[in-house]
Amino acid sequence: MNQLYPLKFNPIFKDKIWGGQKIKTVLGLDFAPLPNCGEVWVVSGVEGNQSVISNGFLSGNELNEIVEVYMGDLVGDKTYQRFGNEFPVLIKFIDANDWLSIQVHPDDELAMKRHGCLGKTEMWYLLDAGKDSQLISGFKTKVNRDSYQKHLENNTLESVLNYENVKKGDVFFMPAGRVHALGPGVLLAEIQQTSDVTYRIFDWNRIDQNGLTRELHTELALDAIDFSVQKDYKTQYKSKVNSTINLVESSYFTTGFLQITEPMKKDYAELDSCVIYICTEGGSFFLHNEEKYTLKQGEAMLIPASIHSLVIHPENQCSLLEVFLA
């Protein structure tokens, strides 16, 4: 069997009612013929929306096909034992030109019971934000199931939600069950479980081009919502050049942040996992077996678990998210 190598993928573009132009103007990805683009999926094992490899001898193969062939050599032995032939994380960029719906995702237990799939825990890293950009993360005051329903009926839900003013570089962890929404002007990278189950709670009373409102899932959402109030919803971290800064550790993925100005050797010998790099700024190339693999802003690259070391060479200053599986 041929040796695995750093893998790149064709982007999957999604037009959304709230989508904008930043995936083209900031990230440089051409989503024509779509009029706008709300999301681009850059690594996906979601059935019906699988990433297709764009480089090397595996070019043209879908991601889950090569998971089935290479198993632990691709994703790591523990990950393969846990998730089988479905790649367990979804990586995307989101451009919010308008408010996304206020929504919540079920956890694994509820999603499996209702939909036969895993739930959706996710995290956000902001690449760009307007001067007045905001997002919603959780509740700012204590509510319970009954008081929440009254706020929903009285159209006063916004009064109990936690609004955050945001800027480039902000990080938010969104465990399943946390009510959330993205506001206008936000461009971000999202790392999440491989799941596409979303319960819309409120969609700002907007209508689509056909004069219709989008479906709401207010009853389904009730059992999914975590009504607790957190002291701080934003992930606090301090960036340090040419070091890997830990951002998020969860039972589904661990994410670090790298801001590099000089070549950096990465050693994965003790890591039983593939590693995904997401370029959030600048560009770089990865040197493996004397071959160069380029990565620019708006792209992701998957380093198979069978690769135990490589060197990242930045082109000018480069910022990367580094994701490996639990």
Indicate whether 129 belongs to any domain.
yes
40 in the same domain as 151: yes
Taking only the tens place, the pLDDT of each residue in 256-291 is: 999 999 999 999 989 999 999 999 999 999 999 989
Indicate whether 232 belongs to any domain.
no
Query: Structural domain tally of the chain?
Result: 2
211 in the same domain as 248: no
The per-residue pLDDT of the chain, averaged, comes to 95
Indicate whether 236 belongs to any domain.
no
Indicate whether 111 belongs to any domain.
yes
279 in the same domain as 175: no
Give the pLDDT score at 59: 97
Domain encompassing residue 77: 12-222
Give the pLDDT score at 136: 98
300 in the same domain as 171: no
CATH number of the domain encompassing residue 299: 2.60.120.10
Confidence category of residue 1, pLDDT binned at 50, 70, 90: low
Mean pLDDT, residues 82-108: 96
Indicate whether 166 belongs to any domain.
yes
Indicate whether 239 belongs to any domain.
no
Q: What is the pTM of this model?
A: 0.95
212 in the same domain as 293: no
Give the pLDDT score at 104: 97
The number of C-alpha atoms within 13 Å of 247 and in the hemisphere containing its C-beta is 28
Parallel, antiparallel or unpaired: strands 89-96 and 102-104: unpaired
Indicate whether 312 belongs to any domain.
yes
Taking only the tens place, the pLDDT of each residue in 160-195 is: 999 999 999 999 999 999 999 999 999 999 999 999
Taking only the tens place, the pLDDT of each residue in 150-164 is: 999 999 999 999 999
299 in the same domain as 154: no
Confidence category of residue 204, pLDDT binned at 50, 70, 90: confident
Decide: 257 and 125 in contact? Cβ < 8 Å: yes
298 in the same domain as 196: no
204 in the same domain as 117: yes
127 in the same domain as 26: yes
200 in the same domain as 273: no
pLDDT at residue 95 tops 90:
yes
How far apart (Å, rounded) are the C-alpha atoms in residues 107 and 111? 6
Confidence category of residue 214, pLDDT binned at 50, 70, 90: confident
Indicate whether 140 belongs to any domain.
yes
